[in-house]
Amino acid sequence: MNRLKDCLAALRDAGRKALIPYITAGDPHPGATVGIMHALVAAGADVIEVGVPFSDPMADGPVIQSACERALQHGTSMADVLDMITRFRADDAATPIVIMTYLNPVERIGHDAFAARARAAGVDGILAVDLSADEAPDVLPALTAQQLDPITLVAPTTSEQRMAQVCAHGAGFIYYVSLKGVTGADRIAVDELAGHVDSIRRHSDLPVAVGFGVRTPAIAAAVAEVADGVVVGSALVQEIARHRADETRMLEAVAQTLRSMREAMDAQTVEGEEDA
């Protein structure tokens, strides 16, 4: 069984686009994460991206950096994150889960040991932010041996030659970073996306998901016009931070934020079918 491949194929066959929310595990506290994950599924998530808190999240903006700090204040570790996913799987065996991490926590456990533990917990894909194409041959065999999809990143600055190399190592989907910056930036050049996504598709048959800068339902719908998936992170993490003192309100706000994006994406799909 490959939950991620099956999910994305089913969405493609249905003419729908994947909605992929990101949260930082352990934020605002470790006991809240599993509940947030279930709330995201109920609000329309197709895949969940779970971030492993890291002390130097260089690819992330201030919103997710603060989330990492809150999680680390509670001592949230990679082992804790895998335990959270195990608990989530007790009630949800279907929703694909991708771990977003930096290499350091993986290397501390060891590539083979980490991959085995991740697979046992119910993880489907690994996105290692700082894993370069040059380092990939040292890491990917451990992931593929456990049937974990390595999710690769492509940026606006990635050359065609590098893109071919990066895409060759990927599985699950290709994550296109839509901004020359960090997560949570204010602008996303939606009008330029189509060309970049087409470039990726020349090198890979995998679905292309776009993230960084998706902050509103309108942006989510516009991205869904040209990509196969939409990744939403900072907008959700912001709601978690804003309502962290009231867990019921926090879950409601996170669900409503994601639901509004799901509705906008689905409305765009219906409109596109009517125009076809």
Catalytic residues: 49, 60
The stretches of the chain forming alpha helices (DSSP H) are 3-14, 33-42, 62-73, 78-89, 103-109, 111-121, 136-145, 160-168, 190-201, 217-226, 234-242, 247-275
Indicate left, alpha or beta for 77 from its phi (over 0: left) and psi (-120 to 50: alpha).
beta
Please give the Cα distance from 140 to 32 (Å, whole number): 31
- Residue 182's identity, in one-letter code, is V
Q: Give which of 4, 51, 72 is closest to 183, Cα–Cα.
A: 51
Terminal-to-terminal C-alpha distance of the chain: 34
What does the DSSP 8-state code read for residue 32?
G
Please give the Cα distance from 18 to 208 (Å, whole number): 10
For 207, half-sphere exposure in the C-beta direction (CA atoms, 13 angstrom radius) is 27
